[in-house]
Amino acid sequence: MPKLKILGFVREIFVDQIKQDSITSVHFKRLGRLYSINYWIKRAVCGKMQTCGGYDRKRGAKMNPLILIGEMARIHGISAQTLRYYDKIDLFKPSYIQEESSYRYYGIEQFAHLESILFLKGTGMPLKEIKRYFENRGLDSMLALLEKRVDYINEEIVRLKNKRTKIESMLTTVTNYLDKNIMEKCRFQQMPARQMLFFTFGNGDIFVEHELGIKKLGMEIKSIDELYLNPFGSVIDKSEIEKGNYSNFKGITMVFGHSIPDEIVTIPLPEGVYATMAFVGTYKDIESYFREMTKQIKENGYKIAGDGLVLIITDKAYSDYEYEYISEIQIPIKR
């Protein structure tokens, strides 16, 4: 008899007997097979869905079809590991454990429960909140929960819009600096009012103090996005510029233009005219850039009005090549 006909015949037998609840794991053991019940059901009965029905001997009642963890995960588009984690934290547990094999099964009646969890998780709700909701679930609590999520999502929209604005600004800024014609040239520009976060350097090596300062900035703003999307750099005192001590920086700063993270204390940077000069590479030639800028400031009838900034536009966080590092010196000036 052809193999396909044999398999079809076996399938028909299994389907008929399972519908009558006459096959159990005990029967499989008596057959001396090495295959699990899940394997036989998948191959001979259920095709794609690994389910089994049965008779609950303790309750004396017919059971709904049961589904193994892998199939439950596949049906709902999640991983088996996710279901195991939900079981571990008592959020969503299998409804039945088979005594003979210790297999854990889910019931079809649990679909709605799992789908509710996945829906709420898809709104960004933490699992702890979802668990609390299921401990006392009702229509009123669901509506209150959804209203809370709407408020949260609206806040996220504002946050994401701010992030998009900063990313767009950064793209524009870096693209503009790729124009070689502006490099190492002193320009006088009108700058808007800004805010800056500032930390004073210690007495150690300037490179070490700079790296530690970056860590301080990150710890203060508590956001890697802000650390990457806002310009930061060193501050040099006005008096040091006037004395010609161009490498004597006093601290590190991060400059904010569009929005400021909550709960940080900033110092205002007033709007006004700034002498600026962009350059590529490291700080090794920075003294010559400062000398040229102070010369241009005097020749054009300006005076230094405040502390200078050396802001990093791109550095080793963005590129492996020093010739792609871009920084800009900004010195406030007045007539």
Predicted pLDDT at 115: 93
Segment 77-80 long-range contacts (CB within 8 Å, at least 24 positions apart): 78/118
Is 186 within the bounds of a domain? yes
User: What pLDDT, in 10s, does the model give residues 114-144?
Assistant: 999 999 998 888 999 999 888 888 888 889 8
CB atoms inside a 10 Å sphere around CB 91: 18
For residue 156, tell me if it sits in a domain. no
Checking if the pLDDT of 95 tops 80, the result is yes
Confidence of residue 53 (pLDDT cuts 50, 70, 90): low
CATH number (domain holding residue 306): 3.20.80.10
Helix (H, G, I), strand (E, B) or coil at 142: helix
**Residue-level pLDDT at 22:** 41
| Judgement on whether residues 9 and 101 belong to the same structural domain of the protein | yes
- Domain co-membership, 282 together with 207: yes
Mean pLDDT of 202-206: 79
* Highest mean pLDDT of the ranges 160-169, 264-273, 310-319: 264-273
- The continuous run of DSSP H or E covering 279 comes out as strand 272-280
Q: What is the CATH number of the domain that holds 26?
A: 1.10.1660.10
In 3-state terms, what secondary structure has residue 19?
helix
Same domain (yes/no): 32, 129: yes
In this predicted structure, the answer to whether residue 30 has a pLDDT above a threshold of 60 is: no
Report the chain's mean pLDDT, rounded to a whole number.
80
pLDDT of residue 100: 81
Question: How many domains in the chain?
Answer: 2
Is residue 155 situated within a structural domain? no
Residues 231 and 311: beta-carbon distance below 8 Å: yes
Does one domain contain both 108 and 243? no
Whether residue 109 sits in one domain with residue 199: no
Q: What is the pLDDT of residues 292-317, one digit of tens each?
A: 999 999 999 999 999 999 999 888 88
Any domain includes 166: no
pLDDT of residue 244: 94
8 shares its domain with 123: yes
Q: Mind listing the pLDDT tens digit for each residue in 229-269?
A: 788 999 999 999 999 999 899 999 999 886 787 778 899 99
Residues 333, 260: contact at Cβ < 8 Å? no
Give the integer Cα–Cα distance in Å for 317 and 326: 12
Cβ neighbours for 149, distance < 8 A, ≥ 6 positions apart:
120, 123, 124, 125
The domain of 48 spans 3-135
Nearest residue to 109 (alpha-carbon basis) of 65, 140, 148: 65
pLDDT, residue 316, reads 85
User: Are residue 189 and residue 326 in the same domain, yes or no?
Assistant: yes
The reply to whether 130 and 193 lie within a common domain is: no
What sign does the dihedral 219-224-229-233 (CA atoms) show?
Answer: positive
Listing from the earlier edge strand, what are the strands of the sheet with 61-68?
A: 51-56, 61-68, 104-107, 96-97
193 and 63 inside one domain: no
Is the residue at 58 inside a domain? yes
Residues 203 and 269 placed together within one structural domain of the fold: yes
Task: Identify the pLDDT of residue 34.
Answer: 32
Is 153 within a domain?
Answer: no
Mean pLDDT of 1-28: 41
What tens digit of pLDDT does each residue of 320-332 get? Answer: 998 899 999 999 9
Q: Tokens for 173, please give them.
A: 């800024």
More confident residue, 68 or 101: 68
- What is residue 15's predicted lDDT score, i.e. its pLDDT? 42
* Predicted confidence (pLDDT) at residue 218 exceeds the cutoff of 70: yes
77: left (phi over 0), alpha (psi -120 to 50) or beta: left
Tell whether 265 is covered by a domain: yes
What is the average pLDDT across 29-38? Answer: 36
Determine, yes or no, domain membership for 164. no
pLDDT at 283: 81
Q: What is the mean pLDDT of residues 142-154?
A: 89
Q: Is the pLDDT of residue 224 over 80?
A: no
- In this prediction, residue 128 carries a pLDDT of 92
Note the pLDDT of residue 64: 66
CA distance 242 to 159: 41
162-187 mean pLDDT: 86
Burial of 48 (0-12, 13-18, 19+ CB in 10 A): exposed
| Contact between 287 and 204 (Cβ < 8 Å) | no
188 and 270 part of one domain: yes
Q: Is pLDDT above 50 for 35? A: no
Tokens read off for 31:
């057959």
